[in-house]
Amino acid sequence: MYCRAAVRGSAQIDHFIPWSRHFDDGIENLVYAHARCNNQKSAYLAAEDHVDRWIQRLRDPGCSSQLAKLAAEKHWESDPSKTLAIARSTYLILPPAYKLWVRGTQFAQIDLQRIAHLLGKP
């Protein structure tokens, strides 16, 4: 999810909106990531490019139907509108100087206008 490189070796499932910020265990909030990327992201909020890819995944009919099917098979929570609302309530209240995780130890100041656009500010 984060570095966009093929996963060879250790991988983990990450809560895109960190568990420490909101207890959303819905399948839509889970992403596949290299262990290294997941550990570097830790409990930080991901930068806009990551949010963009995550939103594209949620809005892609093929991917969203696969997630829904997997959730049904595994009896896993699935509520895309809830997860999107959690993302909005998490990101859209951040102060203008807030830093989002890009990669490794790199952070970038939030672009609130872009985040609002990506998340479809209600």
pLDDT of residue 121: 67
DSSP string, 29-75: GEEEEEHHHHHHHTTSPBPHHHHHHHHHHHH-HHHHHHHHHHHHHHT
pLDDT of residue 47: 98
Model pTM?
0.94
Choose among 42, 52, 41, 63: nearest CA to 87. Answer: 52
Distance of CA 10 to the CA centre of its chain: 19
User: 122 pLDDT exceeds 70?
Assistant: no
Q: pLDDT tens across 11-65, in order? A: 899 999 999 999 999 999 999 999 999 999 999 999 999 999 999 999 999 999 9
DSSP label at 27?
Answer: G
pLDDT of residue 65: 96
Two tokens, residue 71: 């959730």
Q: Which helix (H) or strand (E) holds 12?
A: strand 11-15
